[in-house]
Amino acid sequence: MEVVVGPEHCTAPVGGAAVTIGAYDGVHLGHRHLLAELRRRAGERGLTTTVVTFDRHPATVVRPQSAPPLLTDLDQKLELLASTGVDRTVVVPFDRARSAESAEDFVRDVLVASLGARLVVVGEDFHFGHNRAGNVSLLVEMGTRLGFDVVGLALEHDTTDRAVSSTRIRQLLAAGDAAGAAELLGRAHQVRGTVVRGDGRGGPELGFPTANVSLPDETARPGEGIYACWYERPDGSVHQAAVSLGRRPTFHTAGSPVLEAFLLDFEGDLYGEVARVSFVARLRSDRRFASTEALVRQMHEDVAATRSLLATAPP
């Protein structure tokens, strides 16, 4: 997949483009349904498939106080988009100037002039441009004049007939339902961060040396609890991991949640590495134990549960 930063750096393909636009946070099953339809229709017409997305979530500029946590950072989003088989992704830097751009200008300058759009495929509830004034109806009206067709697709629904959306996935994660989120993502939710030094208690005191993974503030993370996870190192090796995401209430009375990963059957130095932690299922809530001995007994049970669960849940 070709990646272009900035529509002004694009050369419109000779045969024209089939374009979709959106934040594509998570690249979940609803997104994948739309992208598959984009590819199918583009193939019928000999068009180049193009995804237009943004270098940050638009809400971080338009309404930063209520911007949602991100299911994927930009690098992960591009990796997932590439896995869908689209030809090109155009990353639009989103700033105050871009947020003030009218929907009409975006269509003329980006979709038509830069990308050579001949077909635009979006969700039926799609909005864009300053104050979200643009919608499918505007695209249809402008497409008639500027030479592109428009398809507004109905949203993909799950087995309970609820729409698949990034918002709903965030809600499931916040509730600790990692397995439910995975069903809508089509994969386990993954977070990425650097391994840093923690209290140093895990190995010497508890017998379970853990990797403390520092996550960017904007990362969407599951609710506090103990999870069975897959842990991927920079060398591509993947390990089973029992992960605690919480405030370590047995030893602390306050503080922010910390992600601590115990890698099963592993010995080695992880400090400074970038870890990729994929949440498969929640094992239990985080809670305070009356003694270190009681905590250690529970940790042994957590490790056994992780090993059993991941034996049937390949990475």
Q: Are residues 244 and 144 in the same domain?
A: no
pLDDT at 225: 95
What CATH number did the domain enclosing 149 receive? 3.40.50.620
Q: State the average pLDDT over residues 220-235.
A: 96
pLDDT at 24: 96
Q: How far apart are CA 278 and CA 188, in angstroms?
A: 6
Residue 131 placed within a domain: yes
pLDDT, one tens digit per residue, over 233-248 is 999 999 999 999 987 6
Structural contact between residues 69 and 219, judged by C-beta atoms closer than 8 angstroms: yes
Flag whether pLDDT at 59 surpasses 90.
yes
Q: How far is CA 25 from the centre of its chain?
A: 5
Flag whether pLDDT at 88 surpasses 70.
yes
Residue 174 placed within a domain: no
Q: Are residues 200 and 78 in the same domain?
A: no
In this predicted model, which residue has the larger pLDDT, 104 or 313? 104
pLDDT at 43: 97
Structural contact between residues 218 and 70, judged by C-beta atoms closer than 8 angstroms: yes
Q: Are residues 71 and 138 in the same domain?
A: yes
Phi-psi label, residue 297: left if phi above 0, alpha if psi -120 to 50, beta otherwise: alpha
Q: For helices 178-185 and 166-174, give the axis angle rounded to 10 degrees.
A: 160
Q: Are residues 124 and 202 in the same domain?
A: no
Total tally of structural domains belonging to the chain: 2
Flag whether pLDDT at 3 surpasses 90.
yes
pLDDT, one tens digit per residue, over 17-43 is 999 999 999 999 999 999 999 999 999
pLDDT at 257: 84
Q: Are residues 10 and 55 in the same domain?
A: yes
Q: State the average pLDDT over residues 299-312.
A: 94
Q: Are residues 6 and 147 in the same domain?
A: yes
Q: Are residues 19 and 143 in the same domain?
A: yes
Q: How far apart are CA 243 and CA 223, in angstroms?
A: 12
Q: For helices 29-45 and 178-185, give the axis angle rounded to 10 degrees.
A: 10
- The residue out of 132, 153, 174 marking a domain boundary is 153
Q: Are strands 48-54 and 149-153 parallel, antiparallel or unpaired?
A: unpaired
Residue 203 placed within a domain: yes
Residue 275 placed within a domain: yes
Q: Are residues 148 and 37 in the same domain?
A: yes
User: Which residues form the domain of 85?
Assistant: 2-153
Residue 227 placed within a domain: yes
Q: Are residues 122 and 238 in the same domain?
A: no
- The residue out of 101, 133, 153 marking a domain boundary is 153
- The residue out of 129, 153, 177 marking a domain boundary is 153
Amino acid type, 288: R
What is the average pLDDT score of the chain?
91
Q: Are residues 139 and 269 in the same domain?
A: no
pTM beyond 0.95: no
pLDDT band at 207 (very low <50, low <70, confident <90, very high): low
Q: Are residues 116 and 194 in the same domain?
A: no
pLDDT at 203: 46
pLDDT at 20: 98
pLDDT at 224: 94
What CATH number did the domain enclosing 264 receive? 2.40.30.30
pLDDT band at 77 (very low <50, low <70, confident <90, very high): very high
Structural contact between residues 283 and 179, judged by C-beta atoms closer than 8 angstroms: no
pLDDT, one tens digit per residue, over 181-195 is 999 999 999 999 999
Encoded tokens for 39: 């590819």
Handedness of CA 122, 69, 284, 263 (dihedral sign): positive
Q: How far apart are CA 74 and CA 40, in angstroms?
A: 25
